[in-house]
């Protein structure tokens, strides 16, 4: 039996589903039941009737699925796959901001640890951050951990006072405006589609700014033929699959989240077979981190 066949067989036998983020390797996306951005995956994890969820992504994603689904077993093919940005907040700074602003809302990007979520009022993803912040009753917002996404949201919602944190995604922050200009010169017809985790100078050059799903949907619906992609290169799998007649360029060859690439079909098979690498969140943390996640799912609807 091939790995794919064995995985298929075990999924049926154990009533399991495989969820995968667009940044994992092509061969992992090929075996997944649901592929999407962080927002879509958190909804898919909540909706599924499966007993076991195999989450192909980084730790905060598996953790969020486990927090939202205490009755299900969430397994991760590699428990060491982590998001660097998820840790980039000092809890002391959150306390300080709460003391400074009486009406403060701590808005926490889902790319954060469960512990950090317990200190926040509402979670967001890049797909719903603008909508949620705009509709909050609070005037003062501390946006954690991503400073770049925070600044993007502030531009869209100028009526709010948004305080930025200095966290960032090392992969998106490394993309440069010079590289965008160079690619635009090489491909003058190409549109630049970018993730809001990139710095503001890149966003200024964009034809479209959005989450991974947003970028994929834009390319599918747009009538152009060429696109420069400003996010992790894993999205190319879905972009090419949906648009075989369109051409996609990256800014460099290393737009790669090495943690996402730790997930392999072999590891998926192993966790399904042995039911190992279960994501465990202490009950107190689960309840406290679950509240801002549930609030996000409600406000983003």
Single residue of 129, 130, 257, 300 touching ligand SF4 by CB under 6 A: 257
215 binds ligand SF4 (CB under 6 A): no
User: Which position has the token pair 């036998």?
Assistant: 13
Among 10, 20, 28, 37, binds ligand 13P (CB under 6 A): 37
For tokens 């190409």, what's the residue?
A: 190
296 makes contact, choosing from ligand 13P, ligand SF4, none, with CB < 5 to 8 Å by partner type, with none
Pick from 24, 54, 83, 271 the residue near ligand SF4 by CB under 6 A.
83
> Least distance in Å: CB of 78 to ligand SF4?
13
Residue 37 touches which of ligand SF4, ligand 13P, none (Cβ within 5-8 Å per kind):
ligand 13P
Binds ligand SF4 by CB under 6 A, chosen from 50, 65, 88, 169: 169
Nearer to ligand SF4, 38 or 277 (CB): 38
111 scored as a contact of ligand SF4 (CB under 6 A): yes
In angstroms, give the least distance from the CB of 10 to ligand 13P.
27
When asked if residue 229 is in the footprint of ligand SF4 (CB under 6 A), the reply is no
Q: Shortest gap between Cβ of 102 and ligand 13P (angstroms)?
A: 31
Contacting range for ligand 13P; rule: CB under 6 A; set: 122-130, 185-193, 200-208, 241-249:
122-130
Binding residue for ligand SF4 (CB under 6 A) from 84, 177, 179, 297? 84
| Interacting residues with ligand 13P (CB under 6 A) | 37-38, 111, 125-127, 169, 195, 197, 211-212
């Amino acid at each position: 039996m091939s790995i794919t066949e064995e995985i298929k067989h075990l999924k049926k036998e154990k009533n399991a589903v495989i969820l995968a983020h667009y940044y994992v390797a092509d061969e992992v996306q090929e075996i997944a039941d649901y592929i999407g951005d962080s927002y879509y995956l958190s909804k898919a994890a909540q909706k599924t009737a499966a007993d076991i969820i195999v989450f192909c992504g980084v730790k905060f994603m598996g953790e969020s699925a486990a927090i939202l689904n205490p009755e299900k077993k969430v397994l991760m093919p590699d428990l060491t796959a982590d998001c660097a940005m998820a840790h980039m907040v000092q809890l002391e700074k959150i306390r300080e901001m709460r003391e400074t602003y009486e009406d403060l809302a701590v808005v926490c990007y889902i790319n954060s640890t469960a512990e950090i979520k317990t200190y926040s009022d509402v979670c967001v993803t890049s797909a719903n951050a603008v909508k949620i912040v705009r509709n909050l009753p609070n005037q003062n917002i501390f946006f954690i951990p991503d400073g770049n996404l925070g600044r993007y949201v502030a531009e869209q919602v100028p009526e709010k006072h948004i305080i930025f944190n200095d966290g960032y995604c090392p992969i998106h922050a490394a993309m440069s405006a010079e590289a965008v200009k160079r690619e635009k010169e090489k491909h003058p017809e190409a549109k630049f589609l970018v993730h809001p985790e990139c710095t503001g100078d890149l966003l200024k050059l964009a034809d479209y700014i959005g989450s991974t799903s947003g970028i994929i949907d834009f390319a599918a619906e747009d009538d152009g033929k060429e696109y420069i992609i400003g996010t992790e290169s894993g999205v190319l799998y879905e972009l090419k699959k949906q648009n075989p007649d369109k051409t996609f360029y990256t800014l460099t060859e290393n737009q790669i989240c090495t943690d996402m690439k730790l997930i392999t079909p072999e590891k998926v098979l192993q966790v399904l077979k042995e039911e190992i690498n279960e994501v465990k969140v202490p009950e107190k943390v689960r309840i406290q981190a679950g509240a801002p996640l549930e609030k996000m799912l409600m406000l983003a609807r």
